A = this chain, B = another copy of it.
Amino acid sequence: MKSKPTSFDIAYRAGVSQSTVSRALRNSPLVNEETRQKVQAIAKELNYKVDKNASNLRSQHSSTLALLLFEDPTNDDSFINPFFLSMLGSITKACSDKGYDLLVSFQQMNDDWHAEFEDSNKADGIILLGYGDFVDYEEKLIQLIEQDTRFVRWGADVESLPIVSVGCDNFHGGYQLTEHVIMNGKKYFAFLGEASSHAPEFYQRYLGHCKALADNNLVVDKSLQNDAFSTEESGYQAAAKLIESGKSFDCIFGASDLIAVGAMRALQDKGYKVPEDVAVIGFDDIPMASFTFPPLTTAKQNTKLAGELLVESLIKVINGEEVKTTLMPTSLIVRNSCGS
């Protein structure tokens, strides 16, 4: 059983000092080209790999980013919101492009997640990802700031705090989507999803939605807004409740695709035709959105770009550069669930 070689083993074989080995392997200009070649060749031959723990300890940075994915605690834990899964994919890719490793962790809101990774030096910075009630974790964000933790978050800009966020223009997306359906002749809109500052993303979508209605001289009927979490089940329930209430409407705006999909199913179960009787629109453009029947009209969030922006912003934060919060545009994806 051979144990792993250390830089001393390389040094011994190369007939140089251990520090030279360290320099040679990191392509330091302080070492002669010829020596470098020799050292690197021996390192390769012995299949030597720099011990990251020792390296990180000495240099005090880890070339690792941590991703904290926190989900709505109401969500059962067997199912992860596909939108985040797709973000996770793009973040992973972006990290690897930038030469960083990625530590992934799922957390519940109530956990003591704040700063765990950065404080323990396992990661140089943290990406916070999750929908959710901002108020729930505002105090934790404040702690992060006080501890000088380097992090960025996905979501709406937090004006009250100096936090770098990357989010998408939920307001505009809601506006655009609503406007489109109005053009298709629908007039009585229901909105499924919490519309309060507790759910900033959903709220912005709702506000955009309301603005579009107002701009087109349509009434905003607050009784047609029902709370829902971002799960299919919750969307189903909310829609069922809406239907039972006997109010009339000809479009349901699901605050997320998952809600919309649930709503669509509820409508169809009750014998409504989508989109003829009731149009349905969602938000996110998760992979399954194009496979529902009818395919779901939605506002696409560009997860690839989002992941890249999050990673790039975080790296800048780590390097002490000035970074501004970014707002990405959404794009309207017209499929069939809205009538055209």
Residues on A facing B (Cβ under 8 Å): 1, 4, 47, 49-54, 56-57, 62, 64, 69, 77-80, 82, 85-86, 88-90, 92-93, 96, 101-106, 115-116, 119-122, 147-148, 261, 287-288, 291-293, 304
Contact = CB atoms under 8 A, between A and B. Distances in A.
A179 to B, nearest CB: 26
Contacts of A147: 47
Given A47-B147, A53-B56, A291-B293, A89 B80 contact: yes
Contacts of A116: 49
Given A85-B86, A93-B77, A105-B96, A52 B122 contact: yes
A212 to B, nearest CB: 27
A307 B330 CA distance: 34
Dominant secondary structure of chain A at its interface with chain B: mixed
Top 8 closest pairs, chain A to chain B, by CB: A293-B293, A288-B288, A49-B119, A53-B57, A80-B89, A53-B56, A49-B120, A85-B85
A293 B268 CA distance: 13
15 contacts: A1-B148, A47-B147, A50-B120, A51-B57, A52-B120, A53-B121, A57-B57, A77-B93, A79-B287, A92-B104, A92-B106, A102-B105, A104-B104, A287-B287, A291-B293
Nearest to A122: B52
Nearest to A78: B304
Please tell me how many copies of the chain the complex holds: 2
A69 B57 CA distance: 28
Contacts of A4: 119, 121
A261 to B, nearest CB: 7
B119 A106 contact: no
Contact of A47 (B53, B92, B119, B287): B119
Contacts of A50: 120
Given A56-B53, A293-B291, A93 B106 contact: yes
A222 to B, nearest CB: 31
A108 to B, nearest CB: 10
A92 B119 contact: no
Contact of A101 (B53, B89, B105): B105
Nearest to A89: B80
A105 B120 contact: no
A119 B48 CA distance: 8
A190 to B, nearest CB: 21
A297 B92 CA distance: 32
A62 B102 CA distance: 15
Contacts of A96: 105-106
